[in-house]
C-alpha cells in the first residue's frame, strides 16, 4: 500500500478532489513524543464513530450492491471493489441508529483484513484525526450492553466537545450474528 | 505418474532440502543450542530420508537415516555439539548433495566410509564420550590436510579400517584418521559449482492471485469485445481475445497437478488400515497421470481418505469370510481416474460386501431420518444415498479407523463445495463403487445467467438440464409444493423469489412459502420460465423472472462474513462490473427435500 502524505496529522477533510478516486488512508504513525493514534472518524446516525486507521484500507464511492438472500439486514449485500467481492455492512442498521446513509450516493470504507472481505457504508468521506492515547478512555464500562456485546467498543475519545466512539470492526461481526446466515 | 517425473519432483525437493540443510547447519554452528534449527534439521532429514527410501535411492536413505539418528540424540540434549562434530556433519551434508547430483547423471557416490563414520559418531554420542577431550579441535584441520595426500591413495584400506572401527565397541577417537573423509571428490571445480533446479516452487497463494488477475482480465476482455461489437469492429479484437484466452488457460494449466500425487499416498493408508483390521487388501491405481486443479485435489483429499478407509474397513470382508463366499482372500481396491470434458471422474472401487439396503432402511428408521411411508417408496439405490445424510453411520461397531458417524456427509459436502457430484453403485456381495465427478479446474465454468427480482444470478451448466416455458395452468399445487411435468416426468417446481425474499430461517419454514409467488400470478396464460436442474438425479424446476445468456464465469467463494450464505455457492463479477451470485443447487435441493421440511 502506498504511504502518501506521511505524518499529515489533521482533522481536516480529505481533499475534495480525491473524493472521486479511492483515497488511500494508510499513513505512517505519528511519531511525536507522546503516543498518538490515527483514527478515522465518520458519522453514523447522530453519533461520531472512529476506527483505527490500520483497520481501513481505502475509501471508495459505494459501488452497486448485489443483495444476498437470507443474510442479516445489516449485510446490505456484496459488491465488486477492485475485483474483490466484499460484503457491504451497514453499521447504522447494526447499531439500530437513525438511517442517514444512502446506499446509492455514499462512500464505502474498505476494511483491511485477511480474514474478512468486507466494507462499511458511510455517509461522507471520513476525516482522519490524530488522538493522543491519553485522550482515549479505554474503560467505557458505562456502556452496558444487555447482550454482553460491548466487546467491540474499544474506547471513548473525548476531544473538545466531541465524543467519538472507537470501535473494533472485527469484533462487530460475531458468530452469534452469523447464525441466521448459517441456516438450520 | 511415471518414474521419471517422480524423480524430477524428488530431485527438486531434495535440492531444496539440501540448501535448507546447509543454511540450518551454518546457523546451528554459530549457536549450537539453537533448538529450532535442530528440530528443523531433524524434520528435513526425516522427510528426505523417507522420500529417498520411497524412490529407492538407498544411499541417500542410509546416510539420511544415520543423520536422523544423530539429530534425534542431539534433540534429546544427549550431546553438546562441538566444532569437530560439525566438520563431520558438514561433510555428510556435502555427501548428500553429491548423491543428489549423482542421481541426475546416474552416478553412484561411494558412501560406505561416511556411513561408518557417522555410525561411530553415533556410537560415541550414545556412549556419552566427550570428543573435545580426545581431540583438540584446532589442530584437526591441519592434520586433515596433511593426511589428505596419504589417504587419497588408501581409500579402500581406509574404508575397511573404518568399518572395522565402527564395529569395535571401544570408543573411537574422532578426528585424525576418521574425520578425514577420503576425497573421492578430486574434481574441485565441481564442488564450487552452484546448480539451480529446473523447478520453481511457488506458493499457492501467488497462483491464486494470478488466477484472480487473469479472471479480471477475462471479464474486461468480454466487456471490451462487447463494446467493440456495438461499433462493428469485432475483428480488431480477435488477437486480444486469443491472447487472453491462451493466457487464462496457461494459468489454469499451471495449477494442475497429477492425480497420482494423491493416489500414491493411499498405498500406505490402505496397508495400515488393512493391517489394523486383519485384512488383506491389494490397491491398484489407474489414470494417475490425469490432471486436476491443485485446490480441488486438496479439498477432496480428506474425503478420498475417508472413502478408501471405509472401503477397507467396511467394504472388504475378512479373509475367512471372503473364502466362504468363494472370493480370493485378498480384497481389491481400485482407484481410477479418468477425464470427461471439463470433469475428472475419480472412482473408488472395492470388491467387498457392498452396501446392504435392508440395513440402511432399518437404520434410517432408527435414526428417524425418514418416515416409513416415504422410505418404502424409495428404491434400493435411493435408500443407499442415505449414507450421505449427516449423522448416519451404518456399521454397528465403531472402530478406530472409520465409522464415528461423521464421514460420508462430510464427503458429500466436500464434493458439493467444489461443484462436483458423487454417485454410488453397489451390488450386495460383490462390491461398491463410489464415483466422484469433479471439475478439473475450479476457475472457469459455464453458467446460465438469469434474473430474479432484478438481480442477476448464475447457475453452473453442470446442473442445468433444460430451460422450459410453461403456462401457469401447467403448474399444480401438490401438498406444500408445486409440480409440473417435463418430458413426461413430474418434477418439483419452486419460485426462487419465494426463498430469496425470506429475511430469516423462520420465514423459510412457513408451510405455504412455496405457493406465495404462484398465487400472485393472476392469468392462467402467463408464461413462466423454468430452469430445470438435476441434483442427485432429482429434477427440480427453478422459476426465474427472465433468462439471460450463457456465459463462462469465474466463480469466487464469498468471504467472511457472508461465506456461509444459504443457497449461494459463490459469486462472479460480470462484464459490467456487477457482482452476480452463483446458485448452490445442492443446498436448495437439500432445503426442498430435507425430511423435516417434507414432513411438516
CB–CB of B498/B516 below 8 Å?
Answer: yes
CATH superfamily, region B3-192: HPT domain (1.20.120.160)
Q: What is the pLDDT along chain B (600 residues), one digit of tens a residue?
A: 566 777 777 888 888 888 888 888 888 877 777 778 888 888 888 888 888 887 778 888 888 888 888 888 777 776 667 777 777 778 888 888 888 888 877 777 777 777 777 777 777 766 544 444 344 344 444 444 444 444 444 444 444 444 444 444 444 444 444 444 444 444 454 556 677 777 788 888 888 888 878 877 877 777 777 777 777 666 777 888 888 888 888 888 888 888 988 888 888 888 888 888 888 888 899 998 898 988 888 888 888 888 888 888 888 888 888 888 888 888 899 999 998 877 899 999 988 888 888 888 888 888 777 777 777 777 777 788 888 876 676 444 444 444 444 567 778 878 877 778 888 888 888 888 999 988 887 667 788 999 998 889 999 888 888 899 888 888 888 888 888 888 888 888 888 888 888 777 777 777 777 887 888 877 777 788 899 998 877 889 999 998 988 887 878 778 777 877 788 888 888 877 788 999 988 888 888 876 544 333
What is the tens place of the pLDDT at every residue in A57-110? 889 999 889 988 888 888 889 998 877 889 998 888 888 888 777 777 789 999
Looking at residue B93, its pLDDT comes to: 81
User: Would the CB atoms of B558 and A89 count as touching at under 8 Å?
Assistant: no
**Min distance A60 CA to chain B CA atoms (Å):** 15
What is the tens place of the pLDDT at every residue in A130-156? 888 878 877 656 555 545 555 777 788
| Chain A residues whose beta carbon lies within 8 Å of the beta carbon of residue B560 | 87, 115-118, 173
* Number of structural domains chain A divides into: 1
- Containing domain of residue A103, as a range? 16-131
Q: Domain B257-439, CATH 3.30.70.270 — does that match?
A: no
Does the interface ipTM go beyond 0.85?
A: no
Q: Is A114 on the interface with B (CB under 8 A)?
A: no
Which H, E and C letters describe chain A, residue by residue?
Answer: CCCCCCCCCCCCCCCHHHHCCCEECCCCCCCCCCCEEEEEEEEECCEEEEEEHHHEEEEEECCCCECCCCCCCCEEEEEEECCEEEEEECHHHHCCCCCCCCCCCCEEEEECCCCECEEEEECCCCEEEEEEHHHEECCCCCCCCCCCCHHHEEEEEEECCEEEEEECHHHHCCHHHHHHHHCC
Residue A184 lies in a domain: no
Q: Cell triple for residue A52?
A: 483505527
Residue A170 lies in a domain: no
Which of A66, A87, A180 has the CB atom closest to B580's CB atom? A66
Q: Cell triple for residue B384?
A: 443407499
| Chain A residues whose beta carbon lies within 8 Å of the beta carbon of residue B562 | 68, 71, 75, 78, 87, 181
Q: What is the CATH number of the domain that holds A51?
A: 2.40.50.180
State the best of A64, A80, A87 to mutate against chain B, taking most chain B CBs within 10 Å: A80
State the best of B218, B556, B562, B600 to mutate against chain A, taking most chain A CBs within 10 Å: B562
Evaluate if pTM is beyond 0.90.
no
Burial class (CB in 10 A: 0-12, 13-18, 19+), B158: buried
CATH superfamily, region B444-598: SH3 Domains (2.30.30.40)
Residue A107 lies in a domain: yes
Amino acid at each position: 500500500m502506498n504511504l502518501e502524505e506521511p505524518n499529515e496529522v489533521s482533522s481536516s477533510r480529505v481533499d475534495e478532489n480525491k473524493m472521486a478516486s479511492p483515497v488511500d488512508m494508510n499513513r505512517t504513525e505519528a511519531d511525536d513524543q507522546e503516543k498518538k493514534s490515527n483514527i478515522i472518524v465518520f458519522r453514523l446516525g447522530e453519533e461520531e464513530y472512529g476506527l483505527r486507521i490500520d483497520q481501513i484500507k481505502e475509501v471508495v464511492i459505494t459501488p452497486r450492491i448485489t443483495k444476498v438472500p437470507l443474510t442479516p439486514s445489516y449485510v446490505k449485500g456484496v459488491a465488486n471493489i477492485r475485483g474483490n467481492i466484499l460484503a457491504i455492512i451497514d453499521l447504522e442498521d447494526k447499531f439500530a441508529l437513525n438511517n442517514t446513509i444512502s446506499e446509492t450516493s455514499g462512500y464505502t470504507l474498505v476494511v483491511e483484513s485477511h480474514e474478512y472481505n468486507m466494507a462499511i457504508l458511510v455517509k461522507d468521506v471520513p476525516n482522519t484525526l490524530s488522538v493522543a492515547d491519553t485522550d482515549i478512555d479505554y474503560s467505557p464500562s458505562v456502556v452496558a450492553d444487555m447482550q454482553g456485546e460491548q466487546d467491540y467498543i474499544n474506547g471513548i475519545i473525548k476531544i473538545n466537545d466531541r465524543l467519538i466512539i472507537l470501535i473494533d470492526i472485527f469484533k462487530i461481526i460475531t458468530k452469534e450474528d452469523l447464525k441466521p446466515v448459517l441456516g438450520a | 505418474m511415471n518414474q521419471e517425473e517422480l524423480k524430477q519432483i524428488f530431485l527438486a525437493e531434495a535440492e531444496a532440502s539440501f540448501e535448507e540443510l546447509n543454511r540450518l547447519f551454518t546457523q546451528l554452528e554459530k549457536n549450537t543450542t539453537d533448538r529450532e534449527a535442530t528440530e528443523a534439521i531433524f524434520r528435513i532429514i526425516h522427510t528426505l530420508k523417507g522420500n529417498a527410501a520411497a524412490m529407492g535411492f538407498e544411499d541417500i536413505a542410509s546416510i539420511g537415516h544415520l543423520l536422523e539418528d544423530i539429530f534425534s540424540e542431539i534433540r534429546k540434549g544427549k550431546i553438546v555439539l562441538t566444532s569437530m562434530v560439525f566438520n563431520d556433519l558438514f561433510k555428510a551434508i556435502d555427501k548428500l548433495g553429491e548423491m543428489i547430483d549423482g542421481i541426475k547423471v546416474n552416478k553412484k557416490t561411494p558412501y560406505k566410509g561416511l556411513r561408518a563414520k557417522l555410525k561411530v559418531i553415533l556410537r560415541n554420542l550414545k556412549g556419552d564420550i566427550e570428543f573435545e577431550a580426545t581431540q583438540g579441535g584446532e589442530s584437526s584441520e591441519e592434520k586433515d590436510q596433511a593426511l589428505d595426500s596419504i589417504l587419497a591413495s588408501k581409500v579402500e584400506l581406509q574404508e575397511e579400517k573404518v568399518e572395522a572401527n565402527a564395529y569395535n565397541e571401544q570408543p573411537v577417537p574422532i578426528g585424525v584418521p576418521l574425520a578425514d573423509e577420503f576425497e573421492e571428490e578430486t574434481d574441485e571445480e565441481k564442488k564450487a559449482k552452484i546448480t539451480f533446479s529446473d523447478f520453481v516452487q511457488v506458493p499457492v497463494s501467488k497462483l491464486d492471485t494470478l488466477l484472480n488477475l487473469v479472471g479480471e482480465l477475462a471479464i474486461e476482455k468480454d466487456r471490451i469485445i462487447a463494446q467493440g461489437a456495438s461499433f462493428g469492429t469485432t475483428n480488431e479484437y480477435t488477437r486480444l481475445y486469443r491472447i487472453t484466452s491462451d493466457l487464462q488457460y496457461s494459468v489454469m494449466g499451471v495449477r494442475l497437478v497429477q492425480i497420482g500425487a494423491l493416489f500414491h499416498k493411499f498405498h500406505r493408508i490402505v496397508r495400515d488400515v488393512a493391517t489394523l483390521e486383519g485384512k488383506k487388501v491389494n490397491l491398484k491405481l489407474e489414470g494417475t497421470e490425469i490432471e486436476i486443479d491443485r485446490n480441488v485435489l486438496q479439498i477432496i483429499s480428506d474425503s478420498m481418505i475417508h472413502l478408501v478407509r471405509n472401503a477397507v474397513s467396511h467394504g472388504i470382508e475378512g479373509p475367512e469370510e471372503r473364502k466362504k463366499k468363494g472370493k480370493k482372500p485378498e480384497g481389491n481396491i481400485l482407484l481410477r481416474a479418468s477425464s470427461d470434458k471439463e470433469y475428472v471422474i475419480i472412482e473408488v472401487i472395492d470388491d467387498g460386501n457392498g452396501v446392504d439396503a435392508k440395513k440402511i432402511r432399518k437404520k434410517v428408521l432408527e435414526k428417524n431420518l425418514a418416515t416409513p411411508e416415504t422410505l418404502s417408496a424409495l428404491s434400493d439405490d435411493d435408500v443407499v444415498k442415505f449414507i450421505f445424510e449427516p449423522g448416519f453411520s451404518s456399521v454397528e461397531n465403531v472402530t478406530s479407523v472409520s465409522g464415528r458417524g461423521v464421514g460420508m456427509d462430510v464427503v458429500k459436502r466436500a464434493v458439493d463445495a467444489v461443484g462436483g457430484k458423487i454417485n454410488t453403485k453397489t451390488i450386495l456381495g460383490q462390491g461398491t463403487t463410489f464415483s466422484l465427478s469433479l471439475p478439473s479446474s475450479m476457475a472457469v465454468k459455464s453458467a446460465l445467467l438469469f434474473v430474479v427480482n432484478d438481480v442477476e444470478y448464475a447457475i453452473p451448466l453442470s446442473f442445468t438440464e433444460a430451460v422450459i416455458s410453461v403456462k401457469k395452468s401447467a403448474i399444480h399445487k401438490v401438498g406444500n409444493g408445486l409440480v409440473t411435468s417435463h418430458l413426461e416426468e413430474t418434477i418439483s417446481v419452486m419460485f426462487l423469489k419465494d426463498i430469496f425474499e425470506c429475511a430469516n430461517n423462520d420465514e423459510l419454514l412457513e408451510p405455504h412459502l412455496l405457493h406465495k409467488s404462484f398465487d400472485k400470478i393472476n392469468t392462467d396464460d402467463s408464461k413462466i420460465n423454468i430452469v430445470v436442474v438435476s441434483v442427485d438425479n432429482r429434477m427440480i424446476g427453478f422459476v426465474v423472472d427472465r433468462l439471460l445468456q450463457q456465459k463462462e464465469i469465474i466463480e469466487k467463494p464469498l468471504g467472511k462474513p457472508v461465506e456461509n450464505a444459504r443457497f449461494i455457492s459463490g459469486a462472479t463479477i460480470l462484464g459490467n462490473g456487477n457482482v452476480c451470485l452463483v446458485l448452490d443447487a445442492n443446498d436448495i435441493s437439500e432445503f426442498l427435500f430435507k425430511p423435516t421440511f417434507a414432513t411438516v
